[in-house]
Structure 1
Amino acid sequence: MRRSSAQGVLFGQTVANRVGLSNSDMECLDFVILEGRATAGRLAEVTGLTTGAITGVVDRLEQAGLVRRERDDHDRRKVFIAAVPENTAKIGKFYEHLQRAMLKVWDSYSDAELRLLLRFAMQGYETMLAATEELKTMIEDPKGKRAGAKKPARVP
């Protein structure tokens, strides 16, 4: 699992480098695509990032032409982030060979095995999201400062 996870990160970073974005930006784009469209709050929820960090991500993805902000038809205060399909398709080409290879692998499993793998993957995602939240609380003190930060030297 660790090898697969690490290789997935490296694969994603290679694609991100090619398109001029960070790996985090690319992962957030993937969540937008998976969600169909999402609010900044929903992206923060599914990624474990702060809404402030998500704003920066969306700004960069919008500047790259990969997403657009859309006002809700019923509540003009609500803004959704939606992928721009014609532009995200250009990135998708980098994943086509991987998708074909994975489809071959999945074809070798029974429906029951695929259900087990899906459950395992979903539980792994939920566990990772919870661990990310716990990590954030571990590294910040109640005042919002990072734990373990060096105190400034005293001036004699």
Structure 2
Amino acid sequence: MPHRPEPTVTELGLLLWRYAQEAHRLQAAVGDQLDLHVTDLTCLAALTASPGITAGELAQRLAVTSGAVTRMTDRLAERGYVRRSVDPADRRRVLLEVTGAAVAEVGPAYQSILSDLARSAADCTDEQLRFLVDFMRGRIAACAQETQQIRQGGRAAAQRSRVIATSTP
């Protein structure tokens, strides 16, 4: 049996990038199957992870404009996937949440990949699983921090689109 070299940090970085790429392709395939935009699925995932956030908070999390969030939530509300409700603590705020219809109709599209994840996790010890969870949380936090630093030093998405629109002949 040939000796396999130890994995490197570079290889790990490339694998994480490849995983993100495949996850995006999965989102696109699910979106095609359900006749939803990838951004709509991303919106549903964000609202599932953080129910009861405002449109402004959602725009910030998805790095899109408030207008894009309005159009996205309008589409999803029309399908019965998102509900808007008045914040009981501040009636000026509107909160967004995923509906049971979204869970029932979109959730099954991810059942196979979640089952595969459960099978893989079953092969891990508790310590290995804790390491993987901690590692992924750390990578998510690092990406969020890097994104924030880049955004602070550059232009926001809305500014970039205006620059592109005004510079196009």
Measured in 2, the distance between the counterparts of 1:131 and 1:144 equals: 19
Give the Å deviation of 1:3.
2.0
Matches within 5 A, 1:7-86: 7-86=22-101
| Cross-structure match for 2:4 | none
Partner of 1:95: 110
Say which is worse superposed, 8-17 or 123-132, in terms of deviation.
123-132
What is the distance in 1 between the residues matched to 2:167 and 2:50? 43
Return the alpha-carbon distance in structure 2 between the equivalents of residues 68 and 115 of structure 1: 34
CA distance in 2, matches of 1:28, 1:35: 10
Q: For 1:148 and 1:46, how far apart are their aligned partners in 2?
A: 23
AA matched with 2:46: F
Measured in 2, the distance between the counterparts of 1:73 and 1:151 equals: 45
Q: Is the 8 A contact 1:37 1:82 kept in 2?
A: yes
The residue aligned with 2:123 is: 108
What code does the residue aligned with 1:32 have? L
> RMSD across aligned C-alpha pairs, in angstroms?
2.8
Unaligned runs of 5+ residues in structure 1 are: none
Cα-to-partner distance string for 1:93-137 (whole Å, 9 max, x where unaligned): 111111111001111112222222112212222232334344545
Q: Which moved more, 1:82-91 or 1:26-35?
A: 82-91
TM-score, structure 1 length as denominator?
A: 0.80
* Identity percentage of aligned residues: 24
Alpha-carbon distance in structure 2 between the residues aligned to 1:41 and 1:7: 29
Is the 8 Å Cα contact of residues 70 and 81 (structure 1) preserved in structure 2?
yes
Residues 73/27 of structure 1: CA separation in 2 closer, same or farther (3 Å cut): same
Please state if 1:123 is matched with 2:138.
yes
Could you list the per-position Cα deviations for residues 21-56 of structure 1 after superposition, in whole angstroms to 9, with x for gaps in the alignment?
Answer: 211121111111122332223323433334333222
Q: CA deviation at 1:68?
A: 1.0
The structure where helix makes up a greater share of residues is: 2
CA distance in structure 2 between the aligned counterparts of 1:18 and 1:40, rounded to whole angstroms: 26
How many pairs were matched up?
A: 152
**Once structures 1 and 2 are overlaid, which stretch shifts more, 6-15 or 41-50?**
41-50
Aligned partners of 1:79 and 1:116: how far apart in 2?
A: 38
